[in-house]
Every structure is written in C-alpha cells, then in structure tokens.
Structure 1
Amino acid sequence: MTSTQDRSANGNGAGGAAPDRAAAERLRDHVAAQLTRARDRSRLLTEAVDDHDLVRQHSKLMSPLVWDLAHIGNQEELWLVRDVGGREPVRADIDELYDAFKHARSTRPELPLLGPDEARRYVTEVRDKVFDVLERTPLEGSRLVDGAFAFGMIVQHEQQHDETMLATHQLRVGDPVLDAPPPPPGGPVGPAEVLVPGGPFTMGTSTEAWALDNERPAHLASTDPFFIDTTPVTNGAYLEFVADGGYADQRWWSEEGWAHARKAGLVAPRFWERHGDRWHRTAFGVTAPLDPDQPVVHVCYHEADAYARWAGKRLPTEVEWEKAARFDPATGRSRRYPWGDEEPTGRHANLGQRHLSPAPVGAYPAGASPLGVHQLIGDVWEWTSSDFRGYTGFEVFPYAEYSQVFFGPDHKVLRGGSFGTDPAALRATFRNWDYPIRRQIFAGFRCARDASRDESA
C-alpha cells in the first residue's frame, strides 16, 4: 500500500484544482490495482482445488473455501456497493448466510451456501459495480471515503481472508496444489539479542490513511530498557525445548497453558512429525525434514510462553514489540516499518505468499530495524504477552465488530505478519489477535527479557 494520505485531494487554493484531480486519479488507480491484486490471489486460492474441495470443510476451525469467497463479495457489496455507492443490493437475501457473527465456522457447511459457480458469478458482479462506484465517488468529504478508506478496508479484508484460506490449504489433506519458489537463504544476524533503550516513543498512528481503528490514535508509550531476540525463535532452538522434555515439564507452563497442553495432548508444534530420530514438518501437502534455521511456526501462545520460561526469558509486551520494530534512536521518531518509511519489497520481508514457508533467519538484512532486530515483518506472526485492548482515545470506526467486540483477556495480540500476509494488510502498527490456544495460524514468536541496571547503563 502506498502512502495514500499524501496523495488525497486536499488543496483548495489557487492553482490547486488540476493537481488535486491528478492526485485523485492516482489514488483511484492505486485502489483499482490493489483490488485486482487481492482478487487475483483469491482466484488462485480457490481455483487451485476442484469444486469438491471448495465446498468441503477441511477443519472445524475453518470455513469451506467457498464460504470465504462469497463472504469476501458480500462484505464488498455491503460497504462499497450499498454504503459508499448508494446502489441497490445485488443479493440482499444472502446477507445473513455470510455474517461471520451469526454462524460459527464449524456450522457453516450446514448452511444453504452459494455453490462454486454461483459464488464466482456473484463476486464478479459485485466487483464490476465496485469499479463503477470507484470511478464516480469523490475520495474526500466524509471519513468513510477520505483517502479511499472504505476501499482500503475492503482490500485488507479480502487479503486477510486470503491468508485465512491459505491456512485452510495448510489443513487440507491431499496432494499439493500450491506452488512457490523457496525463500532466500539465511545469513549472519549478529548477536542473539539486542538492547532496546528505555524511554518514550510514538506508538500507533493517526496518519496512515488505511489504518484500522485499533491502530489509532498515535500516542506516547514508554518502556524500561529490555533485550529482545534478534530473530524469531527457530525450529532448531525450539527443538531443544522439545528434546529437553519441555512439553512434559509443568515448571515451564502457566496453569492455563499446562491444562490446555494436557487436554490437547501437545507434544510438538502442529504439523511436526517424528520419523525415526528426525523431525519432519508437513507444509501444504509436502513433508520434509525440519529446517533448523527457519522460524518455528504453528505454535500457540501457551507453547511460546512455555518456551520463553524454559529459556529464562519471557514474551515481549505489545509495546516492547512495536518499539523494537519502529523506534529509531538516532532521530527519536517512529518509522512506518523497521527499515524506514518505504513500502515492503522482496528485499525487506517475506510477505504476500511469495513463498510458502518462513525464510531462514538472516534472509532479509535490508529489513532490519535501526537497532539491528531482524524479520520483525513477515515470516511468522509473533505472539506477545499483551491482551487485546483499545488504546487510550480509541474510537470505533466504522463498526464495532471489527475490533471492539474482541477486546479483553480472551485474546492475545500478535504482531508483524507472516509469509501469508499481504503488504496491503500490514503495517508496523498493525495489530492481530487470536485465542491463546490457536495453532492453525502462521504464528511463531521471539523472546525478550528485562535489562539489568549494569546492562542498560
């Protein structure tokens, strides 16, 4: 996503009309390109399988892929065709079927859903109307359209469901249907941990045009000095915890975590399998020996917390994670991304389903933060110790069901995105959240620890 807030039409002075029109057209072109790119990915994920796989539920944790596809179209219709465009409904009769709050994922296959061909026709018809709305809508004048916010919200919504569909593909049993080149090789990363100085920094944002309500407003936050791991915890490091009996040792687990580990029978990260004396991991239908240098993925919050205790550390708070990712000690300002303000590219981070696994640590030196912390963006979502809550000054916009209804101790915050997260749906201020028992998501973690007075001097 480009910096749309710098291009929206705001000028009213003499000579401003032509530049404003040009800026508005650039913004329209940008929105159209982002909508098209998201749809191309949705099409890839749904056309990679046959219609039987599209309508089948591959896990009780996930919707059938065909539900996700039609839900994407329904949200686009509700917000852009009806609300922004003021047009007549395309399919008002299906609104309830695709309301995520009315039907749990486990029960969605029982609904009279649109079939594959009907879903494809529906999302195509909606998209055609959306492009017409985009051409005719002034991208200013109300909060919903300023900077093309509503269009950006829908782009992000589709990309988020694309990542959800990618997770469904990971849970699917059968021959591989997705393909991508391997990630780049790893490289040196320096010391194992980095000292982050104490003091205030600017957290959150009030300027990103497409930032969602839970990222707002920008505010001062402060930390004590702390150390954070230079990279996410790797398969090789996590394997030491497994080999040391970490899953059978109650000392390392919280009371809640231990109860869950026993009930769920956890013995290793999800999709790990032991073949003789070697561990393998299955990813998108392909089973291969564990790569010790890749970040561990498909661990729940409780597993991450237990590992951190075993290692003599802890999980970072959300405030600490964002400070490590954004704070530039040379200038005192918070960057948009760890490497600066420019948009992510293949040099900076493993994003956008460019690869189908996390990259080995050290694969993206150009993406390191000023303090020398690597791979904060992409590869794996990173669990933090923080509950999901609104910032001071939080304001619901445009609807409470996006963020506010999830606030509280039931959900833990994840940061940084994964290899399946698209750049349009990610910023260094972006906040994800999930139940602490979830393992189907592309989640890993890194550790932190307090700095002693001598270490921080």
Structure 2
Amino acid sequence: MNQRFIPSETSTPFNPWDREALWQAFQNQRQFTRQLVAELSEAVLCAQPHPLYSPVGWHLGHIGYTEAFWLLPESSGVSDRDRYWYAADGRPKAERQHLPPRGQLLDYLAEIRQKTGDRLYSLSDEQWQREVRLWWWILQHEAQHSETMQMVLAMQGIFTTLPPLLSSPQSWQRIAAGSYVIGSEDLLALDNEQPVQSVELLPFMIDAAPLTWREFLTFVEAGGYQRREWWSSSGWEWREAEGITAPFYPVPEDLDLPMWGLSFYEAEAYGHFQGKRLPSEREWEIAAQQGLLNQGYVWEWTQSPFAPYPEFQSYPYRGYSAPYFDGKHFVLKGGSHWTRPILKRPSFRNWYSRTTREVFAGARYVQLEALPIESEA
C-alpha cells in the first residue's frame, strides 16, 4: 500500500486510504486557514487590491461552499444563496467585497466541517473506496486557496512570513541524458498530473537555486525594462501596453531573498539578458526527482505551455484543468514558501498566463549551450 508523508508540517508516515490520516490533514489545514484571518481587520478581509483576485473573506466562503458541494448529500449541502455568494461562477468579482463579518464566515466553515466529519465516519467501506480521491482533492483545494489568500494580503503589503535568504553562491546541477518518468498516479495526484509517462532528455545543466532579487536588479539597472533586445515580441508588446517598468512587488531590504512576483515574460527576458533560458517542465521535474534543486522558495516558471498528458481524463469535473489547455497558460513548478506541504511534489503542475505578476513566482535557468530547446510533443 502506498506510503506518503502526512500533508502537514510533520513528517509522520501515513496511509492515504486511512480516514484518520485524512481527517487529521483536514484539521491541520483548517487550523492554518483560520490562523491566516485571525488578526485581520474587517477592512482587510473585504479588500480587493486587484480586480482579478477576490477578497480574503470571499475565499473563506468559497472554501466552505466547495467542501459542502462535493462532500455533502444534496439535502444538507449548499443553498442557492451560498452558490451565488461563493461559487466561482457566482457573484462577479467586482461585487465580492460585500461580505458577512469574519465570525459569521468562520461559523459557516465550522458548520460545514461538522457535517463533513459526521459523513466521513458514516461512509461504508465501499463508499469510502469510491470517494477517497475526492476527499483528498477537497483538501488540496483549500490548500491552494490559502496560498491565494496570502497573495491577496501581499498585494496589500501584508506578508505572513518571508522565505529564507539564498546566501549560498550560485551553482549548476548536471542531469544526464536518458529515459525518465514524469507525472503521477498517486491517490493525491490531480487530473493534470496523470498518467505517468516516459520521456527522453538530452543532458543539461540547471541552476541549483532560484533567481534572487539581487540578481534580477542587475537586469533592471542595465535598462532591462527599456531594452527591446531581451524580450520576446509578445513580451515586449505586453510590457509597452501595460507600461511595465519595474517589478510588481516592492524591492525587499534583503536582496538575497528569492525573487517573487515575476511574470513569465519578465523571467524570460532576464534569461535572455544572462544568455540562459527557462527549463522545460519535464527538465525541472526530473531534476527535482533527483533532489538536485533547492525547492520551496517560490513557484518557478517553465517554458512549457500547460497541456494535457496523453490519455488525460478530467477530474472531478471538466472545468478544473481542461479549459486552461489553451496555449496561453504556462506551467510553474515547485511551490513557494507560502505553499502548503501537501502541494509540494515534483509532479505538481501550477499554471498561469504569461502576463501574471501577482503570484509568488520566480525562476531558475538552464544553460543555453548545454541543451537546445526541445519539443514538448
């Protein structure tokens, strides 16, 4: 039976088919979610600092709504009001600043959690076998939204914590040519991670650590936002249209922190500036499998469009991954300092459009001369 590490801050081995292990993971994540909002003012809870992102308080309601929608029977699940207020396709984002007070939102979460807990332990073994993947999916859904909540806070100048400094000198890791396996068929794997597949790679060299603020500022000081030669055509068009002249987030005091708030286009331009390129997602994943990457500081852009693996099957609904297989969204790997442990695995695929700057995203690079850009076909 598959053994993994419990998706919390501990390293206790657990069996993902064990209801107690799942319930403990549910409780660990909910404690983290509640702690995120415990000291926030109502104004911060309802603030919408960016038109594409919902307020922190809305995410609380959405977490509860989604848990009820998928895990509770129809008779005790969600109301039409809940659906309108907290479903992703409910109220327009511009109207989501109008929210119940924090106590009411937390009571809503607690009421749903009580019902889901009761149902979890009332499931027959046969029902549990059918539903177990869905329960782990719901846990990961909350984990993803807890990071989005921290992004919304960061856009207001509120950082829950900062990642550690990258004080070691930059070095490269070499990966040999060969046949490798990527993807996952683990019980926790999301639909876009499946199925596993074999890929062939040429040898390449990849950064041991992600880009720092200090390193990126050399690009800024060299006129990186004004010099066309380092940008792709579409990247330069975006930069000019949006008037982008500096990083999205304010420069921190400690320049040896990993760079975050970087769009794909900015990450790509910096690579050109240094004579390097972004890795493909398969290169990144294989290097991570071998334990060669300093991980967990920031999400890291790859040069790979977000696309389905062969024999892809949507889960738990078609709209989760499939609509983003549009050639406009690119894969990020690794997880950030603000990402929950359950999501940090080499096979996990995050995705955003190339213009997105608000995410806790940076980059690491491969040497151009070590490996030409390979086909993702």
> Normalising by the residue count of structure 1, what TM-score does the alignment of the two structures yield?
0.74
Matched, 1:127 2:113: yes
Long gaps (5+) in structure 2: 7-13, 372-377
Is 1:90–1:126's contact at 8 Å kept on the other side of the alignment? no
User: How far did 1:391 drift?
Assistant: 0.2
Query: 1:160 is aligned with what amino acid?
Result: Q
Given candidates 75, 89, 98, the residue that maps to 1:101 is: 89
Task: Provide the rounded CA distance (Å) in 2 between the counterparts of 1:420 and 1:63.
Answer: 18
User: How far did 1:390 drift?
Assistant: 0.6
Is 2:133–2:187's contact at 8 Å kept on the other side of the alignment? yes
Query: 1:134 is aligned with what amino acid?
Result: L
Structure 2 equivalent of residue 3 of structure 1? 3
Is 1:228–1:446's contact at 8 Å kept on the other side of the alignment? yes
Aligned length: 363
Is 1:70–1:114's contact at 8 Å kept on the other side of the alignment? no
Q: List aligned pairs for 1:441-456, cutoff 5 A.
A: 441-452=359-370
Query: 2:53 is aligned with what amino acid?
Result: M
Is 1:205–1:218's contact at 8 Å kept on the other side of the alignment? yes
Matched, 1:230 2:221: no
- SS of equivalent to 2:84: coil
User: How far did 1:184 drift?
Assistant: 5.0
Long gaps (5+) in structure 1: 7-22, 273-279, 282-288, 329-368
Q: After superposition, give the CA deviation of every residue in 1:200-228 in whole Å (9 maximum; x if it has no partner).
A: 1011012x111110000011012222221
Matched, 1:164 2:143: no
Give runs of ≥4 in structure 1 deviating > 6 Å.
23-26
Given candidates 330, 342, 345, the residue that maps to 1:424 is: 342
Q: For the structure 1 residues 35 and 136, does the alpha-carbon distance in structure 2 shift closer, same or farther, using more than 3 Å as the test?
A: same
Task: Give the superposed CA RMSD.
Answer: 2.5
Matched, 1:239 2:217: yes
Task: Provide the rounded CA distance (Å) in 1 between the counterparts of 2:15 and 2:360.
Answer: 36
Structure 1 equivalent of residue 325 of structure 2? 407
Is 1:61–1:105's contact at 8 Å kept on the other side of the alignment? yes
Task: Provide the rounded CA distance (Å) in 1 between the counterparts of 2:107 and 2:140.
Answer: 22
Task: Provide the rounded CA distance (Å) in 1 between the counterparts of 2:16 and 2:311.
Answer: 33
Matched, 1:270 2:233: no
Structure 1 equivalent of residue 374 of structure 2? none
User: How far did 1:293 drift?
Assistant: 2.1
Structure 2 equivalent of residue 351 of structure 1? none
User: How far did 1:105 drift?
Assistant: 3.0
User: How far did 1:413 drift?
Assistant: 0.6
Structure 1 equivalent of residue 175 of structure 2? 196
Structure 2 equivalent of residue 285 of structure 1? none
Q: List aligned pairs for 1:269-418, cutoff 5 A.
A: 269-272=247-250, 280-281=251-252, 289=253, 291-326=254-289, 328=290, 369=291, 373-375=292-294, 377-418=295-336
Task: Provide the rounded CA distance (Å) in 1 between the counterparts of 2:188 and 2:370.
Answer: 39
Query: 1:218 is aligned with what amino acid?
Result: V
User: How far did 1:101 drift?
Assistant: 3.2
Structure 1 equivalent of residue 24 of structure 2? 33
User: How far did 1:142 drift?
Assistant: 7.0
Is 2:330–2:353's contact at 8 Å kept on the other side of the alignment? yes
Matched, 1:71 2:67: no
Is 2:174–2:203's contact at 8 Å kept on the other side of the alignment? yes
Percent identical among aligned pairs is 33
Task: Provide the rounded CA distance (Å) in 2 between the counterparts of 1:144 and 1:266.
Answer: 49
Larger radius of gyration: 1
Q: After superposition, give the CA deviation of every residue in 1:224-258 in whole Å (9 maximum; x if it has no partner).
A: 22221121111121111111111111001011111
- SS of equivalent to 2:181: strand
User: How far did 1:79 drift?
Assistant: 0.8
Query: 2:348 is aligned with what amino acid?
Result: F
Is 2:3–2:16's contact at 8 Å kept on the other side of the alignment? no
Task: Provide the rounded CA distance (Å) in 1 between the counterparts of 2:109 and 2:97.
Answer: 19
Is 2:211–2:362's contact at 8 Å kept on the other side of the alignment? yes
Matched, 1:153 2:137: yes
User: How far did 1:154 drift?
Assistant: 1.1
Query: 2:256 is aligned with what amino acid?
Result: D
